[in-house]
Structure 1
């Protein structure tokens, strides 16, 4: 099922095209973020995360179907001892144009140079506050300084695409004045992501959710202008300003027509294909990852599963599907 046209075979019933795969490497995390794993990660002994040979078969199958961008997520993906090797194995596929990482940044400083050398092309770091005290309250870890050192190191080694992810929370980090001075001098995208309701986070959502439209209105008043989207980019609306090196993005899953631009599929750390972060089911792939001879069957199952992908999520009805927390399939 090798495809040569440069166009993806991954198209759903609504003519959305999928060239972007988010691959969760582990559900484990070393932070205790209030909106995700406030009590920390508790291992499920029945969950064995995908091994390197299985990961290679996933990437092989999806690259042939037209995936051009792979994002490594978790939990905290860099906790895997074979993380650098995973990057290298994905970089072996010439059809994969971008290898991205979403991380809490705790291991950036000592490792970003070798990750870049292995083939990492872009970096998303989660920073929910630029205040050390607030950061510690949200994450359960007093490590903002360590994370910021890691970002400085990423600039030093020449990482071209660096983004900061901030989960937007009412009354916690919705004051732009804290981040704007940093954006004047750093060529990054700071992206506010609306807090999303999960099975375990309903009360937290009710307390802290706010619409990204409020930030958007502030930006427009201050002269920020909406940028044109790039091909493999995600759902963020990105704004730029002539006085700032950095940009501000908004990811607003509760906005009208948010799902129309969906361009990514997700593989969980235990080998299930999720066609939506908040879908009500997942497709088992792991039984077809034990040897190379099952690739055609694997690709057929992936393509058939796209017929099940609904037009939209059901977050507006407070239905988070089977997503109990965001470490579950990599946010």
Structure 2
């Protein structure tokens, strides 16, 4: 499928904010529904706010086309749990068929991977992040609220067999819960070619007490890794905020996402669009700007691109998590994490 040529006069320059940061990575949420009940995100499960009206396929196609014209090279499809959408494979094809997009990725809890990994690969998906917060099935159940550990692990094996170019495992660091899992994770990646990413717990609007009880600084893990011979890898252009490390004795790599580290926001290269079509310049700090009115027809693309450029001027230099200011984000599922 070929996208139609742009109509009208369009600013083709890459999206850039007033601090010189360029944005070539879009996290596109397609639903905020999730079937897991992770304690750090949706401890009471998903609760819909009325009947959700998530972006339709034609709106997604127009969104992808506009971002592709202003320098976006990588799109990560997120949720909630994105694969809950019955048209998920069609969404993958829309992104993959755009010639401006070099990398099609998704983040998932992995519960549908076993059955659909090959189908999604054939549709154009190339990179997968799977959330696995513990390799202990009992702790996995305690954190996620779902007894699906074996199912998720079989899904990861299916993804490896399907030929995905990069598989990452996301684990949120939680003091008193999974913080003793590091040796088990290291043993796994010694002979398995996957990237393991430890994500420092971030405070959200619903999680102040939880954050205080379970926050563990990613810097502690970094120092431990360096003491054991792990070496820092220079980032590539489409990498996210993780600091990546490799070791000559391991097939897998480790990445650390540390939002409380100094200068974390200096290398920001990503924007977010929610499942209902709001542009978010940061995971925290602001309410988001509605784009949906300009996603109805391809003839609106020039105006949509101008809106994107104008909004980048409003992007803040950093988040304010250090001051305990979490913005309007109630939970990470609401705008795709």
The residue that corresponds to 1:257 in the other structure is 263
The farther-off stretch of 159-168 and 279-288 is 279-288
Q: Deviations over 1:66-105 (max 9, x none)?
A: 1000000010000000000010111111110000010000
Q: Does the Cα contact within 8 Å between 1:174 and 1:215 map onto a contact in 2?
A: no
Within 5 Å, give how 1:214-225 maps onto structure 2.
Answer: 214-225=220-231
- Decide which moves more: 23-32 or 177-186: 177-186
Match of 2:298 among 292, 303, 309: 292
**Aligned mates of 1:47, 1:158 — CA distance in 2:** 34
- Counterparts of 1:112-127 in structure 2 under 5 Å? 112-127=117-132
C-alpha separation in 1, matches of 2:317 and 2:287: 15
* Equivalent residue for 1:186, pick from 192, 204, 208: 192
- Structure 1 segments (4+ residues) deviating >4 Å: none
C-alpha deviation, 1:291, in angstroms:
1.7
SS of 2:332's partner is coil
Partner of 1:49: 54
TM-score by length of 1: 0.97
Q: Is the 8 A contact 1:12 1:306 kept in 2?
A: yes
Residue 58 of structure 1 pairs with residue 63 of structure 2 = yes
CA contact (8 A) 1:8 1:67 kept: no
1:8 Cα shift? 5.2
Is the contact between residue 280 and residue 286 of structure 2 (CA under 8 Å) also seen in structure 1? no
Partner in structure 2 of residue 201 of structure 1 = 207
C-alpha contact (below 8 Å) 2:80/2:336 kept by paired residues:
yes
Equivalent-residue separation in structure 2 for 1:135 and 1:163 (angstroms): 17
| 3-state SS of paired residue (1:319) | coil
Asked whether 1:304 is paired with 2:307, we answer no
Partners of 2:87 and 2:167 in 1: CA distance: 23
Matched with 2:164 is 159
Contact 2:193–2:252 (CA<8 Å) still a contact in 1?
A: yes
Residue 14 of structure 1 and its aligned partner are, at CA, apart by: 0.3
Aligned to 1:148: 153
Partner of 1:318: 324
Structure 1 segments unaligned to the other structure (5+ residues): none
Q: CA deviation at 1:46?
A: 5.1
1:139 matched residue in structure 2: 144
Aligned residues: 327
Q: Give the superposition deviation at 1:292.
A: 1.8
Does 2:20 correspond to 1:28? no
Given that residues 288 and 294 in structure 1 are in contact (C-alpha distance below 8 angstroms), is that contact kept between their aligned partners in structure 2?
yes
- Structure 1 match to 2:72: 67
Q: What SS is found at the alignment partner of 1:84?
A: helix
SS at match of 1:159: coil
Q: Which runs of 5+ in 2 are unaligned?
A: 1-5
Q: Which position in structure 2 is the counterpart of 1:280? A: 286
CA offset digits 1:202-251 (Å, max 9, x no partner): 11101000110111111011111111111100011111111111111100
Equivalent residue for 2:133? 128
Contact 1:8-1:17 within 8 A present in 2 as well: no
1:127-152: CA deviation from partner (whole Å, max 9, x where unpaired): 00000000000000011110000000
